[in-house]
Amino acid sequence: MVNRIILNETSYFGRGAINKIADELNSRGYKRVLLVTDKVLYDNKIAQKVIDVLSNNGTVLYIFMNIKPNPTIDNVKEGLVLAKTSNIDAIVAIGGGSVIDTSKAISIILTNPEYSDVASLEGVANTKNKGLPLIAIPTTAGTAAEVTINYVITNEEYNTKMVCVDPHDIPICSIIDPDLMQEMPQQLAATTGMDALTHAIEGYITQNAWLMTDMFHINAMALIYKNLEKAANEKDRDAIDNMAYAQYIAGMGFSNVGLGIVHSMAHALGAIFDTPHGLANAILLPHVLRFNSKACLDAFRNMANSFELDVSDMSDEDAAEEFISAITELSKKLGIPQSLTEIGIPYEAIPILAEKALADVCTPGNPIQVDINDIKNIYREAFH
């Protein structure tokens, strides 16, 4: 079997790392930049920290920030108009997964205009050219969009989330600066952190997992379990640093092997009800893990060990349950809702949710092959 690893060219880590953006642009000769962010980051002056670095460098900036939390085809098309009329050399994305994902789509279409409808990018896109150079600066410790070959755009016409997979979209440079994550609201830090944990876990048990990605995922989940509560609830600086690195490490793994039905089912919730992705993952994760545990009990014991849980004298089944219970307790400590009922999802939506989840690109990677009844049953359990 041949395994492939794709990572971005250059990444910088550490507080103050945003000051490296000017060096990267200058060394590559990029002078005209589309800066993509969102209105919250702009109004809260987080994006301004990057704008100041670029302005002091003499970079010509065009700012686009009309992006929904679950970005849409129309968001991408609007950004494309600005990018095309501005004659830009590169894109700088500062934000969470929604901002970076939108930037990836814009980047790809600028150099592959045959995909300008956006919808045709769904799945594994057969693009011919690398996207316009993209520098990604995450402000959340969750999606790892800055190091992955994936992005997700909502098709509002069909109420679906398009998972797009394309090695040509990976940013040429990533800046992981925990200073930008220090002021994240508690719930955003909590849910994006649970998204990162889901990446690590699903990547570890997916059917395509192998030695190198196992190394990434097992270390990422250990870091997340140890640091997420302190990072989100206490704003502990060291814990925030560790979360910033852990989510990136998880991204290096899952980008190359895929995920499973936690993500499939979360994508359906996001597409139909605009549910924040990390929140959907957090609620669904324990229920999917109980379903999947019987297929890979050894892996669940390894994951329990990564959490430093005392499972040495337990049966494989009990060790798996101890691991799942630890995740549930972490979620509760973070103040995350524990059921779909709590976030207002109607029970009668289960059939359409299950239909969309089954068709999702992440579903084939699940360690157990599922049918629509399996997914319906897991959704039902997540309502209680």
> Does pLDDT of 229 surpass 90?
yes
Q: What is the mean pLDDT of residues 98-110?
A: 98
Is there a single domain that holds both residue 174 and residue 252?
Answer: no
Is there a single domain that holds both residue 329 and residue 303?
Answer: yes
> pLDDT for 170-224, tens place per residue?
999 999 999 999 989 999 999 999 999 999 999 999 999 999 999 999 999 999 9
Q: With cut-offs at 50, 70 and 90, classify the pLDDT of residue 227.
A: very high
Residue 112 belongs to domain with CATH number: 3.40.50.1970
Is there a single domain that holds both residue 155 and residue 209?
Answer: no
Is there a single domain that holds both residue 113 and residue 136?
Answer: yes
Task: Answer with the one of 121, 145, 180 that is the final residue of a domain.
Answer: 180
Domain that holds residue 78: 10-180
Mean pLDDT estimate for the chain: 97
The answer to whether residues 88 and 82 touch, using CB atoms and an 8 Å cutoff, is no
Is there a single domain that holds both residue 239 and residue 165?
Answer: no
Number of domains comprising the chain: 2
Domain-embedded: residue 22:
yes
Q: With cut-offs at 50, 70 and 90, classify the pLDDT of residue 146.
A: very high
Q: Which residues contact 128 (CB under 8 A, 6 or more apart)?
A: 112
Domain-embedded: residue 323:
yes
Domain-embedded: residue 5:
no
The predicted pLDDT at position 46 comes to 94
CA-CA distance, 384 to 377, in Å (whole number)? 12
Domain-embedded: residue 4:
no
> pLDDT for 48-81, tens place per residue?
999 999 999 999 999 999 999 999 999 999 999 9
Is there a single domain that holds both residue 24 and residue 137?
Answer: yes
> pTM of the prediction?
0.96
Domain-embedded: residue 104:
yes
CA-CA distance, 46 to 37, in Å (whole number)? 10
Q: What is the DSSP string of 123-182?
A: EE----SPPSPEEEEESSSS--GGG-SEEEEEETTTTEEEEEE-GGGS-SEEEE-GGGTT
Is there a single domain that holds both residue 176 and residue 146?
Answer: yes
The predicted pLDDT at position 58 comes to 95
Is there a single domain that holds both residue 208 and residue 158?
Answer: no
The predicted pLDDT at position 384 comes to 87
Task: Answer with the one of 180, 209, 227 that is the final residue of a domain.
Answer: 180
Q: Enumerate the β-bridge partners of residue 175.
A: 12
> Does pLDDT of 1 surpass 90?
no
